[in-house]
Amino acid sequence: MDIKANQIAVITGGGTGIGRALARQLSAKGVHIAICDLSAENMAQTRELCLADAPAGTRVTTCVADVGKETDLTAFRDKVMAEHQTQHIDLLFNNAGIGGGGGFVAGDRNEWERTFNVVWFGVYYGSRTFMPMLAASPRSHLVNVSSVNGFWACLGTGVSHTAYSAAKFAVKGFTEALITDLRLNAPNVTCSVVMPGHIGTSIALNTMQVLRNHSELEMTSDEIAAVRKRMVAAGAPVASLSDEALKQMLYQRGVDFRDKAPTTAEQAAGIIIDGVSAGRWRILVGEDAQRLDAAVRKDPENAYEPAFIEAVRIVPNR
């Protein structure tokens, strides 16, 4: 799809990470932007960054919304229609996501379902809500962000990763099925599924805020005890760490995930935009994603064996 000035792009999770980078790169081309996120403060920063580099007259609007709630996305759609004075959009990026909810057998059900609802239903509700506006455009494109965890449901031999992986598999399958559905019922709309590897975003830092309404540095003693138990069971040498030291370690791990990733959010956004422009329905982001995709396809039967996991040495999640 040809991306050009005066088109309208809707981006969920636009406050940080890939969503912010997409908003900045698209607005620099003169594309009008509408973003939603849980953080008004983060979105205000994104808007300021976009407008600093965008051509005069480019609109950048924001809306606080929880993508796991259909009513919030309906309100976001109505705000897009009013503020952009439009009945159509040209690009939709269902990008918002969190981690968490790892254990199905022994994990917290509320955290599991909250993670699944944001990661899967955020895509489903976003697609449902904005599909009429995509269909009303002469040519439009829908982008759903999955993950390498959408084809490989693993973070390592000692870590359960069920909610996020199940949701990202659903995103991948849904988008692939949409290729035929759109050709039959809305041929002016095309779609892509994006599968990032380890991207430098704040997802690790944002997850605790969404699931528990506080950061790792504010964890309660009960929360710390539960995390310590899981980590010790997985072989991590944290049994003798003080609660404060463990909090600092968890927080720093989130910072390192963002700042020491092999692919930056800005690079990821560029790869996604290039893929959409080239009309690709399947967009792998990062050399690690390319490598893992090839490895899983080559030896799917052993993809969850310890030797395979050690060999690929990847940190999935974006």
Set out the domains of the chain in order of their start, with CATH numbers: 8-201+263-312 (3.40.50.720), 202-260 (no CATH)
pLDDT mean over 13-41: 98
Angle at the Cα of 103 from the Cα atoms of 99 and 107, rounded to 5 degrees:
105
pLDDT band with cut points at 50, 70 and 90 for residue 314: low
Q: What CA dihedral angle connects 255, 153, 19 and 62, to 10 degrees?
A: -100
**pLDDT tens digit string along 168-185?**
999 999 999 999 999 999
The pTM score is 0.92
Q: Which of the residue ranges 212-221, 247-256, 302-311 has the most confident prediction, judged by mean pLDDT?
A: 302-311
- Check the CA dihedral 138-26-14-172 and report its sign: positive
